[in-house]
Structure 1
Amino acid sequence: MAFGTQDDTDEVMNEINMTPLVDVMLVLLIIFIITIPVMKHSVNIDLPRATNQPQDMKPETIRLSVDAQGDYFWNERQVTEAELPGLLAAEAAKNPQPELHIRGDKAVRYEKVAVAMAAAQQAGLHKIGFITEPRTP
């Protein structure tokens, strides 16, 4: 018995064994065929139709000004403190509600502006804003 007999031929292998490469490619092909339909996450829904026309339904703006003497001006027209709740209630009943912009003179007492805000809140107006001037350096 001869142990460890070897061929003395040191030939270099010139061929690549293609069988394992083809096997790996076939396995990858099967994996992609199975997983591609699973990766599609779409839900079929019937979307509503809409027009591309812009809707410019901005509610009107009411300017309520309080000057330095404490007088109220409704859109540049002078009103008394007693007329103010009636005007605000009439505007609050509109649909859509208008925006109320309050402009208070910096010399007026805050009490006059607070009365106007309270009257607007009691009337049911929800969109109330203040108009200020930017500070100049």
Structure 2
Amino acid sequence: MGVQLSGSGGGRGGRKRGYRPLAEINVTPLVDVMLVLLIVFMVAAPLMSVGVPVDLPRTQAPPMPQNKDPLFVTVAPDGKVFVQETEVGVDNLVALLEAVTNANPEARIIVRGDKSIQYGRMLEVMGTMSAAGYTKVGLAANLPEPRPVR
């Protein structure tokens, strides 16, 4: 029977055979951190868009009805004025608006004007509505076409 006694590690050069350096990247901690950040941002994002925190009082009154759809006043290329699809003269515009909006000066009105009409015609229509007390008057426009990425 023979026993072989060797120095500190057996084998050549004195190194242990079982330990070699690994050339792998452990991505588990990275994934864990990313999931935690995702959860934090999902919870925090809605809180950031609230604005100024205010404690509103409570009331028993029912909510006020709101006309969600705006009223459209259109100035056609030939200068004719329409409220929705009804043609109206500028002198009768206020009377028709009061009838349609129940004389509510807070009604939302969107003015659609053809780009070929004269500037003065558009001012005449908008000035008539403004003089009647309508304060929420806006202008409609098309969004520009997106430019191709080069």
Aligned CA-pair RMSD: 2.6
**1:70 alignment counterpart:** 79
Quick one: structure 1 residues 88 and 135, their matched pair in 2 at CA, closer, same or farther if it must change by over 3 Å?
same
Task: State the secondary structure of the residue aligned to 1:83.
Answer: helix
Match of 1:93?
A: 103
Q: 2:132 aligns with which of 93, 101, 123?
A: 123
Larger Rg computed on CA atoms = 1
Specify the code of the residue in structure 2 equivalent to 1:98.
A
Contact kept in structure 1, 2:90 and 2:128, CA below 8 Å: no
Gaps of 5+ in 1: 1-46
Question: Secondary structure, in 3 states, of the residue corresponding to 2:90?
Answer: coil
Higher relative contact order, chain-length normalized (CA < 8 Å, sep 6+): 1
**1:110 aligns to what?**
119
| TM-score, structure 1 normalization | 0.54
- After superposing on structure 2, the runs of 4+ consecutive aligned residues of structure 1 that deviate more than 4 Å are none
Runs of at least 5 residues in structure 2 that lack an aligned partner in the other structure: 1-55
Identity %: 27
C-alpha contact (below 8 Å) 1:92/1:125 kept by paired residues: no
Structure 1 residues 82 and 134: alpha-carbon distance in aligned structure 2, compared to 1, 3 A threshold:
same
Aligned residues: 88
TM-score (norm 2): 0.50
- The CA deviation at 1:80 is 1.5
1:134 corresponds to: 143
